[in-house]
Amino acid sequence: AAGDLVGRRVLDVGCGSGELAAAVAALGGRVAAMDACPEILGRASRGAPLGVELVRADGQALPFRDGAFDLATSVLVLHYLPDPPRALSEVFRVLRPGGRLVLADRITTEEEPGRGEHLRIERLRHPRLPRLHAAGELERLLLGAGFSLGSVEDHTWTLSLERWLRGLEEGVAGEIRRSLDRRRDGELGGIALEGPDPLRLRIRL
């Protein structure tokens, strides 16, 4: 989706532990990997290759000049931010004219009660999760920030339920299992449990 990265100035918004930034650098990009969490940046710094600059910053107030980057990436970050419109406007600001944003995020359904139940389950894992966007909302946010839409692709992230529940208290994990089991083999917003174990999460790129 990003195209040729050689020599391009790339901002990774919400870099996490740095895997995406490292991959972009390996393909020739010059990367500023940004995250607001010092602990996460500490983990990223241990494996950061040449060509990656780590920056602690708020995604809703980027410390970069207008037009500083050719490309921005944001993967599984937007639904965690308190103010997504502001964050996307900031990304738009720091991209040069004609620059591109490659964004991937979790999505849910427009419909109730599936949407509310999906968010309830996700908040059992992350109590401070502000929201989950439906696909149409995600597109409206991008257009509202000044972007035009290029390619739009839907993907499924499949992983084991145990991996998804790892680290949760037993009671919380049990409540999530029961909630998903009631809708086994059925779509619940943007999440579904298939068969004995695989969990499917919807991603829009």
The tens digit of pLDDT for each residue in 156-202 reads 999 999 999 999 999 999 999 999 988 775 667 789 888 777 899 99
d(CA 97, CA 78): 22
Reply yes or no on whether the pLDDT at 143 is more than 70: yes
pTM: 0.90
Length reported for the chain: 205
Question: Which stretches of the chain are DSSP H helices?
Answer: 19-26, 38-47, 84-94, 114-125, 135-144, 161-165, 170-181
Q: For residue 196, count other CB atoms closer than 10 A to its CB.
A: 7
Banded pLDDT at 70 (limits 50, 70, 90): very high
CB 134 within 8 Å of CB 79: no
The tens digit of pLDDT for each residue in 32-59 reads 999 988 777 777 666 666 678 889 998 8
Smallest CA-to-CA distance from 34 within 9, 67, 7 is with 9
Show the 3-state SS of 75-111. ECCHHHCCCHHHHHHHHHHHEEEEEEEEEEEEEECCC
Residue 31 three-state SS: strand
Phi, psi for residue 135 in degrees, rounded to 5: -60, -40
